[in-house]
Amino acid sequence: MTGFVIFNQFIIRPFQKLFFLPLFFLWVHFSAAQETVRFDSVKVNAGHYISFGNQVIFCQRDTVLILADTIDYFQSRHDITSKSDEFYSSLKERLGNKDGKFSEALYKVTFGKDRSPNKEVKDVEKSINYFEPYNNRLIGSISLKKLDIFGADIKDTTLVAKGSKKFLNKLHIKTNDRIIYKNLILKQRSVLKAVEVADNERVLRQLPFIKDARIMINPAQIPSPGVDMVVVTKDVFPLQFEINPVLISDGQFGLSNINLFGTGHELETDLIIDDRGDRGFGHDTYLKIRNVKGSFISTWLNVANSFSKEGAGIIFSRDFFTPNTVYAGGGEISRYTFREMRLSNGQILSPLTKIDSAIEISSTRNTQDFWIGRSFKDFNNLPPFLDLKRLRLITAARINRVKFTDRPDVTETTNETFHHRTRLLASIGLSSRNYYKDV
């Protein structure tokens, strides 16, 4: 009994004090904190979500919730959890349908399991799948089928427009046959390569005046071992309007045609009404000539004559439009006089904004900008997960020179926008591209 009293007095009781005393102070602190918590009303508009903690609540009507001021919450018109689910579903589908050891390993790391060997691709397929059975066949004839812009469907070419749609189709000039043939990479009597045909189909769809395009392959008549190609295209309605009125006497009105008379060229004119200066009105006109003589070089010509912009310029460009493109490049030569209205604190006003205290800043800028790129496709000793057939080493160099013949006063630390400058740029990178399309 004496031993128990000693054990209880010298061991148990000190332990109880050490253990329960901190808990007592913690309880007192928590009780004091509770007394300072305030509650506030939060209004959630009809059709909005509110998220707090681990909960997301959708309110069909205007709702008022009572929340503690220590709770962080977020309101949105869209369900923030659905965007996260859509992202992971999309990522899971892309990794699950992509060939290669690297994507397989990334799928396992991201989702914690091996992907199913029986993968299915719904609504999407690799763009070369349709053309692979005809690989290395000789291309015989290439014919065109141009659909109406209203009432026709690229997936069902038998549909015919009726009623008002038929009338509207008569107002449109379809893309000229020569323009479509000029944008074809493969020619008659050449050998069909599935990758090149798929690339060419994508090039046609990327043209701004083409809404959709398909290349159909038909076996040629016996005894010919070749194939015939049918290029099906559907145009975009080419006319576009833009109205940006400010006042009755000021505004900007634009009209553009992205397929001028079926040539694939683009003409855009902006009429600018402005009573500042002596003109009263001005214009900013662009003419874009696409794929000059089948070189896939596009050229922009610009002439401007308005209060805020006056001068002319030319831009030309050729992109790496397919992975097999070896050379790309572009350039700009221009001379413009710009006029800006600024406040005393340096803030630049929009072109049609008028404030009596604003100061006119004028500058004349000369620009010479050129770049060139080169693609290489021969590699050795690369990781096996890379698609060697589509892998390219891309190198590029650029020189950009800007010189002002008229400008505000400048120093090393002021009006840096108006400093003369010459920049040299270089880049190198790897590119491996594959494409998928809706089916």
> Do residue 284 and residue 198 come from a single domain?
no
Identify the pLDDT of residue 413: 84
Identify the pLDDT of residue 385: 55
Identify the pLDDT of residue 23: 45
Please work out, in degrees rounded to the nearest 5, the angle formed at the alpha carbon of residue 261 by the alpha carbons of 315 and 159. Answer: 120
285 domain residue, yes or no: yes
Q: CATH no. for residue 161?
A: 3.10.20.310
CA 22, CA 29: separation in Å to the nearest integer? Answer: 10
> Do residue 99 and residue 182 come from a single domain?
no
Cα–Cα nearest to 234, from 211, 208, 209, 266: 211
Beta bridge partners of 329: 318, 372
CA 334, CA 374: separation in Å to the nearest integer? Answer: 25
> Do residue 43 and residue 32 come from a single domain?
no
CA 36, CA 39: separation in Å to the nearest integer? Answer: 10
Neighbouring residues of 52: CB distance < 8 A, sequence distance ≥ 6? 67, 71, 72, 73, 74
> Which of 78, 104, 135 is the endpoint of a domain?
78
> Do residue 70 and residue 16 come from a single domain?
no
Instruction: Output b/e per residue, 379-408; b: 16+ Cβ within 10 A.
Output: eeeeeeeeeeeebbebebebeeebebeebe
Domain count of the fold of the chain: 5
> Do residue 330 and residue 360 come from a single domain?
yes
240 domain residue, yes or no: no
Identify the pLDDT of residue 118: 45
Identify the pLDDT of residue 160: 79
241 domain residue, yes or no: no
> Do residue 147 and residue 9 come from a single domain?
no
What is the extent of the structural domain holding 24? 1-36
Identify the pLDDT of residue 105: 60
- Look at the block and give the residue holding tokens 């005046």: 209
Identify the pLDDT of residue 434: 76
Give me Rg for the CA atoms of the chain: 33
> Do residue 255 and residue 308 come from a single domain?
yes
171 domain residue, yes or no: yes
Per-residue pLDDT of the chain (439 residues; tens, 9 = 90+): 444 444 444 444 544 444 444 444 444 444 444 445 555 666 676 656 676 665 667 665 666 666 666 666 666 655 544 444 544 555 555 555 555 555 566 565 555 555 555 444 445 567 788 898 899 999 988 999 999 998 888 887 777 778 888 888 888 899 999 999 999 998 888 999 998 999 999 999 999 999 999 999 988 765 667 899 999 999 999 998 888 765 555 677 889 999 999 999 999 999 888 655 555 678 899 999 999 999 999 999 999 998 888 999 999 999 999 988 999 999 999 999 998 777 766 666 665 566 666 778 889 999 999 999 999 987 655 555 555 667 889 999 999 999 999 988 888 888 888 899 999 999 999 888 777 776 5
> Do residue 30 and residue 41 come from a single domain?
no
> Do residue 74 and residue 85 come from a single domain?
no
> Which of 90, 120, 150 is the endpoint of a domain?
120
Beta bridge partners of 234: 147, 212
> Do residue 137 and residue 221 come from a single domain?
yes
CA 435, CA 439: separation in Å to the nearest integer? Answer: 13
59 domain residue, yes or no: yes
Q: How far is CA 357 from CA 281, 344, 345, 353, 373, in A?
A: 23, 8, 11, 12, 48
150 domain residue, yes or no: yes
> Which of 23, 50, 78 is the endpoint of a domain?
78
413 domain residue, yes or no: yes
CA 115, CA 97: separation in Å to the nearest integer? Answer: 9
> Do residue 91 and residue 170 come from a single domain?
no
Identify the pLDDT of residue 220: 73
> Do residue 43 and residue 109 come from a single domain?
no
Q: Is 356 helix (H, G, I), strand (E, B) or coil?
A: coil
195 domain residue, yes or no: yes
